[in-house]
Structure 1
Amino acid sequence: MWQPSATIETLKARADFIAQIRLFFAQRQVMEVETPALSQATVTDIHLQSFATELAANVSSSSHQQALYLQTSPEFSMKRLLAAGSGPIYQICKAFRNEEQGRFHNPEFTMLEWYRPGFDHRQLMTEIDELMQRLLATKPAQVMTYQQAFMETLNIDPLTSSCDGLKQVISKHQLMADWLENETDEDTLLQFIFNSLIEPVIGQDRPCFVYHFPASQAALAKLDPEDNRVARRFELYYRNMELANGFDELTDANEQKQRFEQDNCQRQARNLATRPIDKRLLAALQQGLPDCAGVAIGIDRLLMLKLDKSHINQVLSFDLSRC
């Protein structure tokens, strides 16, 4: 089928929507940047799978082809710009994740990512809330901690619960499956419970920020100085969609290296391929990343909400099935 996935009317609305985003940042003197989609390194997160390719130009000169990765987000390159003195920056770009297609997922999608030197996670949440009100005419957002979301919805404490206790919650709600029964990673169980039982409840009438995720779920965020069980990571939810993932960014190069290495150890334990650690990012952190907060937002999902569309392919010029 050669026709576009979205109607031409929708694509015109999409162009206007992106223009509004650019105006929002221009008014705040945040510079737009572009960074490469291909990189020699990629994310180590066990929950993110990158597309990999090889550089054929090296075949004649070397017996080893150079591996390259399509980026799951422009984060690492943008942090290198911050370390070089860019000041506040944003980017609208294509990102790629090797995941199944679905109502809210296309392997190639459009991401908005921005960084604010001098901001912490709370200040950045305020700016995101302003953007949401501008683009979607939402009510001011609700804000709650990750612990609070579990306590108020399910009356369990995610920071102290055991694997057995989490499986009891899953069984109580008749969601148990063989893979969950055999799961030994608490974070995987917590993520399943959050996606299945909490996300459908929060952020219905107004957007909802959830912050202070468990430290083990925030490899790129600073730990909270008042409770090192949690990190300064937040997510934004609205009408059954996860829209944003943000951090009070980790600036310690040694700590970041340790977290990347821990990720790769987890990959090995799960029989997943390890990923090359981005040494250029670590060098930038060593040089000095300014204290900053950053966030990534899926533009396609925002536009789905704006135009009341039920499937991501309705806001894409061509989804994967038509490429």
Structure 2
Amino acid sequence: MQSWQPTTTHSARQARAELLRTIREFFYTRKVLEVETPLLSSGTVTDEHLDGFNTTFNFAASGQPTQLYLQTSPEYAMKRLLCAQSGSIYQICKAFRHEGEGRWHNPEFTMLEWYRLGFDHFALMNEVDALLQETLATLPSDKMTYQQAFQTYLNIDPLCASDDELLTAMLEQKIDIHEPQDLSFDSKLQLLFSYCIEPKIGSEKPCFVYDFPASQAALAKLSAADNRVAERFEVYFKGAELANGFNELSEAKEQRARFEVDNEKRKASGLAVKPIDEHFLSALEAGLPSCAGVALGVDRLLILKIEAAHIRDVISFPVSRA
């Protein structure tokens, strides 16, 4: 007989409600509008490291079966609202990623995403920092570039390193991966970052890592100071990657080219090519205001807030009981 009971305590459910209220008050005082967008879409992410769930809709107006995707984030639809002069907006919604269960991840999870007109990634990092201080009572954050992180913890410059240097570092760090020489350059960087850098940052206060390699930031502007990097950041705290943000790319032609490169990478890795979101690209052609945006995992935030051991302690019915 399957267990029907929730995996959360009542106090955890109360803590979730309080956290959501705090988040909404945070944005209300800043005059950021709460919005809602569809979870189903005809397009989806092309990133080779993300995979969405899909379903067939048999009752489309066309009369033909239509493939739809559960969204990995509300980003594309929210940017369509920005192009329609919505002003600064935020959303708390469900997102879906076809990835393994674990301490920090359930395939259906709650995401907070917001976009601030006139902000760059530095201004948005400051606002994320303020939200963490408001919700978790954290100390003001540390900040370092992606390059500084690699130089500090691995003595490697990720913007200049060779494949051989990365393979040597993986061997020295005892990262046991089957046929590591077949991994892409970015996959090697990501493994080194997750195994050797993430565990060493953000233990006492949140740590922002920014200016990622351009190849790892498909939706961010390239830096005017150094076109090897893009204006993207992530924030880490107590073992969790909490948020991922961008100074948003607004050129439709460049965005399409990046999506096409993503699909070429997927094809080379033996992965299915994903349909590009044409509604999103059409909106970019109409004009995306200058803005920065960020996605933050609410369940992870709650894990830290109540010092839970696992994501199932903050989700009433994880996928194993859904």
TM interval, shorter chain, is over 0.9
Alignment partner, residue 39 of structure 1: 41
Unaligned runs of 5+ in 2: none
**1:179, 1:196 → 2: CA distance?**
17
Aligned-partner residue type, residue 31 of structure 1: L
**Compared CA separation, residues 12 and 127, structure 1 to 2 (3 A):** same
Distance 1:81 1:281 in 2: 10
Aligned to 1:232: 231
How far off is 1:59 after superposition?
10
Aligned residue runs from structure 1 range 21-40, under 5 A = 21-40=23-42
Which structure 1 segments of 5+ residues have no match? Answer: none
Q: Name the amino acid aligned to 2:33.
A: M
Give the alignment of 1:12-27 within 5 angstroms: 12-27=14-29
Which residue identity is paired with 1:276?
P
Kindly report structure 1 stretches of 4+ aligned residues shifted beyond 4 Å. Answer: none
Matches within 5 A, 1:180-259: 180-183=180-183, 185-259=184-258
User: SS at 1:13's partner residue?
Assistant: helix
The Cα of 1:180 is off from its aligned counterpart by 2.0
Q: Deviations over 1:164-183 (max 9, x none)?
A: 11010010011132242432
Residue number in structure 2 paired with 1:69: 69
**1:35 maps to amino acid:** T
State the match for 1:174 in structure 2: 174
Does the CA contact (< 8 Å) of 1:107 and 1:320 recur in 2? yes
Note the C-alpha offset of 1:60: 9.7
Corresponding residue to 1:9 among 2, 8, 11: 11
8 A Cα contact 1:167 1:176, kept in partner: no
TM-score by length of 2: 0.98
SS in 2 for 1:167: helix
CA displacement, residues 224-280 of structure 1 (integer Å, 9 cap, x when unaligned): 011000000000000111000000000000000000000011111111111111111
Classify 1:60/1:221 alpha carbon distance in 2 versus 1 (closer, same or farther; 3 Å): closer
Kindly state the Cα deviation for residue 61 of structure 1 after the two structures are TM-superposed.
3.2
Q: 1:264 to 1:60 in 2, by over 3 A?
A: closer
Partner residue, 1:110: 110
Structure-2 residue corresponding to 1:145? 145
Q: After superposition, what is the alpha-carbon deviation per residue over 1:3-33, rounded to whole angstroms, capped at 9, x for unaligned?
A: 1011111101110110000000000000000
Structure 2 residue aligned with 1:134? 134
Deviations 1:212-235 (A, max 9, x none): 000000000000011000000000
Percent identity of paired positions between Structure 1 and Structure 2 = 57
Aligned-residue Cα RMSD (Å) equals 1.1
What is the CA deviation profile of residues 125-183 of structure 1, one whole-angstrom value per residue up to 9, with x for unaligned ones?
00000000000010000010000000011111011111211010010011132242432
Instruction: State the distance in 1 between where 2:163 and 2:7 align.
Output: 42
Q: State yes or no: 1:154 paired with 2:163.
A: no
What TM-score comes out, normalization by structure 1 length?
A: 0.97
> 2:293 maps to which residue?
294
- Which letter maps to 1:92? I
For 2:294 and 2:67, locate their aligned partners in 1 and report how far apart those are by CA, in whole Å: 28
Q: Which residue of 1 aligns with 2:274?
A: 275
